Each structure stands twice: as C-alpha cells, then as structure tokens.
C-alpha cells in the first residue's frame, strides 16, 4: 500500500533578543487515536505548500495565518522525509528571526480553516526542558530545536540591540 503525502513548510520563529521560540499547540487526531493522555501537540508553525508556491512562500504565509507574524525572510534549516517508509511527505524546515509578542500565550489560526491554535512564546531553555520531559513529541520540532541549540549563540550575537 502506498501513501502519497505533500510538501510542507515548517517554521520555528525565534526572537534572539529575548531568547524565546514560538510553539503552536493544537489538537491532533493521530495522538488521540493512539489514546494519548494529551492529544494537544506542540509543533512549529506549519502548513502545506500550495501548487505554484515555493516552500519559503508557504512558510511566510503560514506564519501570518497561524500566528499573525509578518516575516521578511526565512533561514533554511534542513529538508527531508519525516517517514520515508510509509509516505512521500517532504518537509522544508526554516528558522524565522522575529520579534515575538510580550504575552506568553494567545490564540491563532484561521476560522475558515477551522484552526483552533494556542500559541506560546516560551524561553528557549523551557522549550528544551519540554523536549527533555517528553512533552514535545513532534520529531521535526525536536530536530529544529536541536538545530537552534547548535546555532543559537551566533544568532544572538548577530541580533541588533533592542530598539535598533
């Protein structure tokens, strides 16, 4: 049996000045069908690449639609197959440097797409603690956070000071 998937753009917004990342929390049927105690997963901003759209364009659009973030550009992190043994999905993963809102949590998503998203701007250290405790189970987000762990110091050093 073959499963055909889609190309998707995944974006991890990161504020190097405050050292915070944006996590998207939403209900997912996969964990619910497996009987997960909490079927609300923490993920990066993500969405399908529409026909005629580049992965970068899709990532910028999804950041605007899901989180209200208007971004100038995306930094490519990596691309790859999340589950090559069972489908053809291909993920284009990006980091976005962004000034995240001061509030810690808010709602996002498009009503016309029936999105009920909870957005959380959390410290990088807290996000990594969530990975360590098994509260972030979405492998692409884990990989994106580990990429950020490797590049975080240089990104913070290159960030302009607040108000610049």
Residues that constitute the known binding site: 46, 62, 66, 115
User: Does 113 qualify as catalytic in the annotation?
Assistant: yes
3-state helix, strand and coil shares in percent for the chain, rounded to the nearest 5 = 30, 30, 40
SS3 assignment, position 113: helix
- Residues belonging to the binding site for Mg(2+) are 46, 62, 66, 115
Integer Rg of the chain from CA: 16
- What is the C-alpha separation between 20 and 6, in angstroms, rounded? 29
Catalytic pick from 25, 56, 65, 113? Answer: 113
E strand spans, 5-89: 7-15, 20-27, 40-43, 45-48, 75-80
- What is the C-alpha separation between 40 and 122, in angstroms, rounded? 17
Where in the sequence numbering do the catalytic residues fall?
Answer: 113
């Amino acid at each position: 049996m073959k499963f055909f998937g889609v190309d998707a753009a995944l974006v991890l917004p990161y504020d190097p000045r405050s050292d915070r990342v944006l996590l998207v929390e939403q209900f997912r049927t996969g964990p619910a069908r497996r009987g997960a105690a909490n079927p609300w997963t923490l993920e990066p901003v993500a969405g399908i690449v529409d026909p005629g759209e580049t992965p970068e364009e899709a990532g910028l659009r999804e950041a605007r639609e899901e989180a209200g973030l208007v971004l100038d550009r995306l930094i490519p992190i990596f691309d790859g197959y999340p589950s090559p043994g069972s489908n053809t999905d291909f993920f284009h993963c990006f980091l976005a440097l962004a000034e995240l809102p001061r509030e810690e949590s808010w709602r996002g998503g498009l009503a016309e797409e029936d999105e009920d998203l909870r957005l959380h701007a959390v410290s990088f250290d807290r996000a990594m603690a969530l990975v360590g405790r098994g509260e972030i189970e979405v492998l692409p987000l884990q990989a994106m956070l580990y990429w950020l762990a490797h590049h975080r110091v240089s990104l913070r050093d290159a960030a302009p000071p607040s108000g610049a």
